[in-house]
Amino acid sequence: MDTLHVMKHIAHCDYIIVPVMAALYDQVATRKFLYSFARNENAQSHLAKILPIGSRVKPRSSAQKELTGFMSAIGFPLVSTVSERIKYAQLANQGLSIFDANSKELIAMQNQWMPLLEKVRKRN
């Protein structure tokens, strides 16, 4: 996709949430995207809108530590890390999200999203 075309749309966005997995290929692709974004004159004023989140990462794992270190090293620290859970698919099949009910498991899952939600609320 043409970068200029993307930048026109990004200018209208409040946030750019960038999920990144701990896999090397995902990290390389994310770094390439973020660096090309940072180098683009039209996008530089929107850098503060970028909110990267660790996606499908086990809490307190070596993968999480490596991903956190990698993202910090490239200048885009993770806002939050969300682990992979089958519960997302189960709830989606019922037309629900993790925020539509409260159980001990769901509250733990909701808490993983709180840093991102707090960032979004602060800017509004």
How many folded domains does the chain comprise? 1
Residue 85's alpha-carbon distances to 11, 25, 57, 118, in angstroms, are 33, 22, 10, 22
Report the CATH number at residue 73.
Answer: 3.40.50.300
Predicted pLDDT at 54: 97
Residue 59: how many other CB atoms lie within 10 Å: 11
> Is the pTM for the entire model greater than 0.95?
no
User: Tokens representing 45?
Assistant: 């004023």
Note the pLDDT tens digit of each residue in 69-81.
999 999 999 999 9
Predicted pLDDT at 10: 73
Predicted pLDDT at 111: 97
Range of the domain at 11: 3-123
Averaged over successive runs of 10 residues, the pLDDT of the chain (124 residues) comes to: 67 86 94 82 67 93 95 95 94 96 93 95 74
